[in-house]
Amino acid sequence: MLKLLIVCALAAISAADIPEEEDVLVLKKSNFEEALKTYPNILVEFYAPWCGHCKALAPEYAKAAGMLKAESTDIRLAKVDATEESELAQEFGVRGYPTIKFFKGGEKENPKEYSAGRQADDIVNWLKKRTGPAATTLSDDVESEDAKVFIKTAEAVDDIPFGIVSNDAVFSKFEVAKDGVVLFKKFDEGRNTFDGEISKENLLNFIKANQLPLVIEFTEQTAPKIFGGEIKSHILMFVPKTATDFQEKMDQFKKASEGFKGKILFIFIDSDVADNQRILEFFGLKKEECPAIRLITLEEEMTKYKPENSEITAENIITFCTDFTEGKLKPHLMSQDIPEDWDKNPVKVLVGKNFEEVAFDPAKNVFVEFYAPWCGHCKQLAPIWDQLGEKFKDKANIVVAKMDSTVNEIEAVKVHSFPTLKFFPAGDDRKVIDYNGERTLDGFTKFLESGGKEGGAPAGDEDEESTLEIKQIEHHNRTN
């Protein structure tokens, strides 16, 4: 007993050395490992003081910390200023803010990425599911096969509390006539009753189809549920909440959603919100073009679709979604108009509308830079690319070109990083070669003079630098 008391006392002293702000532990490299040893279950937010998303999360994060501390649980919330503690941020792969990770049992290796919402209740529920029994037992009947399957299902779902009950009064109160599974929720119809054969797969599909509202608003809080869910086909309605016909549009959108539950996620985005402007830009939309409808699949290759009829009615939306599910739609590819002076300078300007004609000209060898205006690497490359254009401007069979891939999309090339450099050699076989050599005038020159052999590779091979750039793009998207 004396030994136990001494160990507990030492733990208390160590815990007291870790400062707190609003019940949130403040961690640094110097006390990080001690915190993991002291608290067996700890959620850590890596943040930047200037990050708007971090500022929005702060009050809810502190509220969750207070709720857990008041319950005297062994779960604590902590935070790390990643701009000050860069070594910790690098160690745990922090690429954007906030990044939230869950550490269990004092182990630093392989922390669990937090994947639920950003309200205090979401945080608390997620942590309790991670640290306690998967399903709260309200009865003694947990040995039946159905109960075992139910508990296994609960272990696979992070953000929904599960319970097992056999009390007659509870059955009566909730008007449940027989054994079964009921999902209770605070939106739409209020509850859903499972009526299939009880298996983990069937229960997960039932939850997937019913856990979100028929129509969900895109916000910082709902984004994790939207992008972290199983449904990867999303239809988006861009509409200002201040519009006089907002509710009418919402009614039509919701009516259309009823037939696609579990297949397509219906999302509306307030087009007046400043933080949503980048989403509009991603779809090639301007505020004055809203309300508008778009559909996107978030598989390995993101594909966008645009309805032929822009009028927002339930009938039109149902037709659009039905055509999508039946594979009848062609992807919507953005394109700027062809500039009048696109070929006046040594570096030719390509857009979606003239790409095919120029890049796949069988008489020309075409070297194209796919860039983003905000990309730092692209800005560094720009003067070298201009020099290359100048050097080959008098070569009739060589074209040096560039295309802004943030506002132009083409079927033949999927751009995953910036800058992406591709060579389209002369001929009728529509061959594409990736450039993987040095980004210097000399490197580019040797590549072109060798017909795409020196420094080239068949399209599709990713090198280490491209992978790094993908991470930089993700970081840019999350921190701006």
Over range 125-142, report the average pLDDT.
64
Q: What is the pLDDT of residue 142?
A: 56
**Tokens 């701006």 -> residue:** 480
Q: Please provide the average confidence, as pLDDT, over all residues in the chain.
A: 83
What's the pLDDT score for residue 132? Answer: 66
Cβ contact 250:216 at 8 Å:
no
pLDDT range class, residue 105, cuts 50, 70, 90: confident
Average pLDDT score over residue span 376-402: 94
**Catalytic annotation on 51?**
yes
Q: How far apart are CA 349 and CA 384, in angstroms?
A: 16
In the three-class reduction of DSSP (H, G, I as helix; E, B as strand; rest coil), residue 82 is classed as coil
Task: Assess whether 290 carries a catalytic annotation.
Answer: no
Per-residue model confidence (pLDDT) at position 136: 52
Lowest mean pLDDT segment, chosen from 179-183, 238-242, 461-465 = 461-465
Per-residue pLDDT tens over the stretch 141-179: 556 788 888 888 887 777 778 888 877 787 778 777 777
How confident is the model at residue 357, as a pLDDT? Answer: 94
pLDDT score of 7:
33
**Catalytic (active site) residue 378:** yes
User: Pairing between strand 265-270 and 233-239?
Assistant: parallel
- pLDDT tens digits, 4-50: 332 333 333 344 478 889 999 999 998 998 889 888 889 999 999 98
Q: How far is CA 181 from CA 146, 148, 174, 403, in A?
A: 10, 13, 12, 54
What letter represents residue 304's amino acid? K
Task: Please name each of the domains of the chain with its CATH number.
Answer: 2-131 (3.40.30.10), 135-210 (3.40.30.10), 215-325 (3.40.30.10), 347-479 (3.40.30.10)
333 token code pair? 């590819």
Residue with token string 């070297």:
367
Distances (CA, A) of 119 to 63, 368, 427: 9, 46, 57
141-145, 383-387, 461-465: least confident range:
461-465
Looking at per-residue pLDDT, the higher value among 19 and 137 belongs to 19
Instruction: Determine which one of 8, 290, 321, 375 is catalytic.
Output: 375
CA distance 250 to 232: 22
**Tens-place pLDDT, residues 65-100:** 999 988 878 889 999 999 899 889 888 888 888 999
In three-state secondary structure terms, 164 is strand
**Which of these is catalytic: 8, 51, 290, 321?**
51
Residue 440 has pLDDT above 90, yes or no: yes
Residues in the chain: 480
8 given a catalytic annotation:
no
Q: Is the pLDDT of residue 361 over 70?
A: yes
More confident residue, 456 or 309: 309
Q: Residues with Cβ < 8 Å from 69, sequence gap 6 or more? A: 23, 76
Cβ neighbours for 230, distance < 8 A, ≥ 6 positions apart: 204, 208
Supply the pLDDT for residue 141.
Answer: 54
Nearest Cα neighbor of 46 from 398, 397, 479 is 479
The answer on pLDDT for 318 being more than 60 is yes
Three-state SS at 68: helix
CA pair distance 201, 193, nearest whole angstrom: 16
Query: What average pLDDT does range 198-226 have in this prediction?
Result: 83
Position 443 pLDDT exceeds 50: yes
This model's pTM is above 0.85: no
Rounded CA separation 148/201 (Å): 13
Percent of the chain beyond pLDDT 70?
A: 88
> Taking 50 as the threshold, does the pLDDT of residue 303 lie above it?
yes
Burial bucket for residue 416 (CB in 10 Å: 0-12, 13-18, 19+): middle
Residue that wins the pLDDT comparison between 82 and 136 = 82
Write out 276-328 in H/E/C secondary structure. Answer: HHHHHHHCCCCHHHCCEEEEEEECCCEEEECCCCCCCCHHHHHHHHHHHHCCC
- Which of 8, 290, 321, 378 is labelled catalytic? 378
